[in-house]
Structure 1
Amino acid sequence: MQILENEPMCKHTSFKVGGPVRYFAKAETVKDLKTAMTLACEKSLPYFILGNGTNLLVSDKGYDGVVITLAGDFSTIEDLGNGAFKVGAAVPLGRFARTTIKQGFAGIHKLAGIPGTLGGAIYMNAGAYGQEIGNCCTMVTVLDDDGSTRDIATADCAFGYRQSIFQKNKATILSATFQLPAASAEGKAVADLEAELAECMAKRKASQPLNMSNAGSTFKRLESGAADTPTQIAPGYYIEQAGLKGQRIGGAEVSTLHANFIVNAGGATACDIKTLSEYVQQKVADKFGIQLKREIILLGEF
């Protein structure tokens, strides 16, 4: 197993920012993963499981702990037959979605444009265009701190909007099992799924700053909007109405294309990005009386 010391996290996050991590481990087997977790325990350090780094902001000071990224055995898709699949935590979500499309199964095909891994998608209950990863998940296999593995049924995963039980416990996601409906059962063919995916990808390209370093949506969808617009729950609406599109702090900018994206417009620091997100929260609260909640995970000391 490869273990690096003082590895710059700017190399491993979509924001392209972040200071060094004390130890960076690449685990390709469960044994590797246990070894990395043991290292953290022996050094009295916390550890963090890293996917594609697409929903993460790492402090400029770095992270005084162990970052573990999964590969190898965690990168497999096992076809169990009849629309059932067991998928490793390191599998890119787009790869899994496209695999199921080719085999004529629906349920997650609209998620192919999400740039994270399967583990990260389960952790956040990733979703887009009316689909969520938790909807078709039947079981999640995890590794506990004591080194034991166990299966957690979907009913016990507490899937909700951008949340799951894995945000509250210390279990490490190893894989997840899914049961997907056949496209034919919904009166569709593979070509229909591909067309729906293409439509979703076109919407992403037209409305999101994909050509700039970012971590996806900065803030979570609201449960209810402001007093005058209670059914308007898109954070981007309020950010734009507050006149914040194009607002900059250092190299961080509120996207001029989609207000719920903060982008690295060039030379941004993690501090710039965090400070700008807080500025946006304050301005929206002042104007509309609502509190935006960050969707992006912060790692390290800010």
Structure 2
Amino acid sequence: MILLENEPMNKHTSFKVGGPARYFVKAESLDDLKKALDLAREKGLPYFILGNGTNLLVSDKGFDGLVITLAGEFSEIQDLGNGAFKVGAATPLGRFARSVLKQGFAGIHKLAGIPGTLGGAIYMNAGAYGQEIGTSCTQVTVLDCDGSIRELSNAGCAFGYRQSIFQKNSAIILSATFLLPTAASLGKTTADLEAELAECMAKRKATQPLNMPNAGSTFKRLEAGSADTPTQIAPGYYIEQAGLKGYRIGGAEVSTVHANFIVNAGGATASDIKQLSEFVQQKVTEKFGIKLHREIILLGKFE
């Protein structure tokens, strides 16, 4: 177990901002993870499980607790046969998606461009281009707060749009099992899947500010649009129509490429980013009467 004190979180988040975590642990085994949780209990501190930090905004003041990142045995992909795979929570989602694509399996290949880990993807029920990680997930193995390990079925995970049961309980995702269809069963070839992935990656490159620090979509898709555009549920549409593309607070900017992205345009603080997201929410509500809900997770104390 690797233990660090006062570790700067700007080194571990895609926004490249955030103050220090009081303690930071890299857990490479289940034993390491249990020791880290024991440390948090002994010191009476909260803990947070960190993936790639690609959907996270850490306060400039940092986090007065223990941040745990998984590695080692949590990064393994096990081929169980017949399209079944067991994948560790620390496995990069892109690596898993590309690995099974090469073997001719469909179902998650369009998610290969998502930069997070498997555990983070399960936690958020990550999705893109019509695919969601929860659709093909059959089981999730978790560590409960009492130290016991249990298995949750797909139904037990309560997957929904960008949500799962793990956002409401304290269980730590250790791994997930998937059952994937073959390309042939869908009337396709591996080359077809590779072409679909290439198309998705091209769209991502053309429509997202990949060259600037960001945390992906700032706001969740709406359940319904405004009175004037009831079928328009993309937050970026309303942000752009409110004239906010390019609007800045400090070093934080509403992307000029995609309005539902807030980017660190240079020297941004976590406070800048949070204030800008709240300003966007306010202006969209004033103009359209709808409420945008943040998709990005906040960690630490914000004023």
Fold equivalence (TM over 0.5): yes
1:265, distance to aligned residue in structure 2 (A): 0.1
Alignment of 1:284-295 (within 5 A): 284-295=284-295
1:174 aligned residue: 174
1:215 aligned residue: 215
Q: Deviations over 1:30-71 (max 9, x none)?
A: 010010011111110000000000000000000000000000
1:252 aligned residue: 252
Alignment of 1:47-62 (within 5 A): 47-62=47-62
2:32 aligned residue: 32
Alignment of 1:198-277 (within 5 A): 198-277=198-277
2:13 aligned residue: 13
SS across alignment from 1:22: strand
Q: Deviations over 1:107-138 (max 9, x none)?
A: 00000000000000000000000000000000
Residue identity in the other structure for 1:112: A
SS across alignment from 1:7: strand
Residue identity in the other structure for 1:251: G
1:141, distance to aligned residue in structure 2 (A): 0.1
SS across alignment from 1:40: helix
SS across alignment from 2:230: coil
SS across alignment from 1:214: coil
SS across alignment from 1:181: coil
- Distance in structure 1 (CA, Å) of the matches to 2:179 and 2:17: 37
2:124 aligned residue: 124
1:199, distance to aligned residue in structure 2 (A): 0.2
SS across alignment from 2:206: helix
- Distance in structure 1 (CA, Å) of the matches to 2:110 and 2:82: 20
Residue identity in the other structure for 2:33: L
Matched, 1:71 2:71: yes
* Structure 2 unmatched runs, 5+: none
- Distance in structure 2 (CA, Å) of the matches to 1:202 and 1:127: 17
Residue identity in the other structure for 1:147: G
* Structure 1 unmatched runs, 5+: none
How well do the aligned residues superpose, as a CA RMSD in angstroms? Answer: 0.3
- Distance in structure 1 (CA, Å) of the matches to 2:60 and 2:37: 24
Runs of 4+ in 1 over 3 A off after TM superposition: none
1:301 aligned residue: 301
TM-score (norm. length: structure 2): 0.99
Alignment of 1:105-124 (within 5 A): 105-124=105-124
2:156 aligned residue: 156
2:92 aligned residue: 92
TM-score (norm. length: structure 1): 1.00
- Distance in structure 2 (CA, Å) of the matches to 1:155 and 1:181: 19
Identity %: 82
Residue identity in the other structure for 2:147: G
- Distance in structure 1 (CA, Å) of the matches to 2:23 and 2:203: 39
Residue identity in the other structure for 2:123: Y
- Distance in structure 2 (CA, Å) of the matches to 1:183 and 1:77: 20
Aligned residues, how many? 302
Residue identity in the other structure for 2:120: G
1:19, distance to aligned residue in structure 2 (A): 0.1
